[in-house]
Amino acid sequence: MSTSSGPFSGPFSGPLTLELLALPKEVPVLRRTVREHLGGPCAEVQLCVSEIVGNVIRHVGEDTPVVVRISGMAGGRTRVEVTDPDARALPVLLRAGGDDERGRGLALMDAVSLRWGVRQEDGRKTVWCEVGRP
């Protein structure tokens, strides 16, 4: 996983950019890296990052190169972006039933984020969300 950051006005040191391969073993490392970067508890941000990268693993495939960006916004919000090279595999918000084993990830992200969406461009997509202060 490679990282970079730069200045911005926000609650933490600056934006975080991570380039990695979408693999299940990278998800806990990613959550830990995000928490360290944000300097404390950030369960909602960690959940959003985990769910978006988990969807890449499940629906695009393991070993898919992704770019994860975490940045501060006005009003203390945090923006999470995950870009992958498959513009066709779009996330779909499902309402999983009690016995369903899958389909809750985006519903969880939808519940904890202020808003979220997908941006498609040049053969890739970026799934993004904005999380308020804890």
C-alpha 66: how far from its chain's center?
Answer: 10
- CATH for the stretch 2-131: 3.30.565.10
- Residue by residue, pLDDT tens for the chain (134 residues) are 655 544 333 445 689 999 999 999 999 999 999 999 999 889 999 999 999 999 999 999 999 999 999 999 888 899 999 999 999 888 776 675 666 566 667 888 888 999 999 999 999 999 999 999 75
17 burial type by CB count under 10 A (0-12 exposed, 13-18 middle, 19+ buried): middle
**What integer pLDDT is reported at residue 118 of this predicted model?**
95
**What integer pLDDT is reported at residue 11 of this predicted model?**
47
Q: pTM for the full model?
A: 0.85
Pairing state between β 124-131 and 115-121: antiparallel
Domain boundaries, the chain: 2-131
Burial 30-69 (b: 16+ CB within 10 A, else e): bbebbeebbeeebebbbbbbbbbbebbbeebeeebebbbb
Residues 6+ apart with CB under 8 A from 101: none
